[in-house]
Chains A and B, each alone.
Chain A
Amino acid sequence: MYNVKIYVTYKESILDPQGEAIKTALHRLNYQDVQDVTVGKYFEMKIANNGQNVEEQVEKMCDELLANVNMETYRFEISATEGA
Chain B
Amino acid sequence: MIYSIIRFPGSNCDWDMYYVLRDVMKVTPQFVDYRETTLPEDTAAVMIPGGFSYGDYLRSGAIARFSPIMNAVKEFAEAGKPVIGICNGFQVLTEAGLLPGALRHNDSLNFICKPQNLIVENNETQFTKRFNSKQTVMFPIAHGEGNYYCDEATLQELKEHHQIAFRYENNPNGSTDNIAGITNRSGNVLGMMPHPERASDAMLGGEDGKLLFQSLVESITQNV
A66→B58 CA distance, assembly (Å) = 7
Closest to B65 in A: A65
Inter-subunit contact A68/B62 (CB<8 Å): yes
Binds A, one of B9-17, B80-88, B104-112, B120-128: B104-112
- Interface residue ranges, B against A (CB under 8 Å): 58-59, 62, 66, 94-95, 100-102, 104-109, 149-151, 174
For the complex of A and B, the 7 pairs showing the least CB-CB separation, nearest first, are A70-B102, A71-B102, A17-B109, A17-B107, A68-B102, A71-B149, A17-B105
Question: In the bound complex, what is the Cα–Cα distance between A15 and B104 (angstroms)?
Answer: 10
- Tell which of B58, B104, B106 touches A71, judged by Cβ atoms closer than 8 Å: B104
Q: Are B108 and A65 in contact (CB under 8 A)?
A: no
Chain B residue at minimal CB-CB distance from A43? B58
Q: Is the interface of A mostly helix, strand, loop or mixed?
A: mixed
> Min CB distance, B178 to chain A, in Å?
16
Contacts of A71 in B (CB 8 A): 102, 104, 149
From A15, A18, A41, give the contact of B174 (CB < 8 A): A15
Closest to B150 in A: A70
User: Known contacts A17-B108, A70-B150; can you find 20 more A-B pairs with CB under 8 A?
Assistant: A14-B104, A14-B149, A15-B107, A17-B104, A17-B105, A17-B109, A17-B174, A18-B105, A21-B109, A65-B62, A66-B58, A68-B95, A68-B102, A70-B100, A70-B101, A70-B102, A70-B149, A71-B102, A71-B104, A71-B149
Instruction: Give the distance in Å from the alpha carbon of A66 to the alpha carbon of B63 in the complex.
Output: 10
Please indicate the chain A residues that have their CB under 8 angstroms from the CB of B62 in the complex: 65, 68
Between A and B, 24 residue pairs with Cβ closer than 8 Å are A10-B104, A14-B104, A15-B107, A15-B174, A17-B104, A17-B105, A17-B108, A17-B109, A17-B174, A18-B105, A18-B109, A41-B58, A65-B62, A66-B58, A68-B62, A68-B95, A70-B94, A70-B100, A70-B102, A70-B149, A70-B150, A70-B151, A71-B102, A71-B149
Nearest chain-A residue to B106 (Cβ)? A17
- When C-beta atoms are compared, the residue in chain B nearest to A71 turns out to be B102
The contact string, 1 if C-beta is below 8 Å from chain B, for chain A 13-27, is 011011001000000
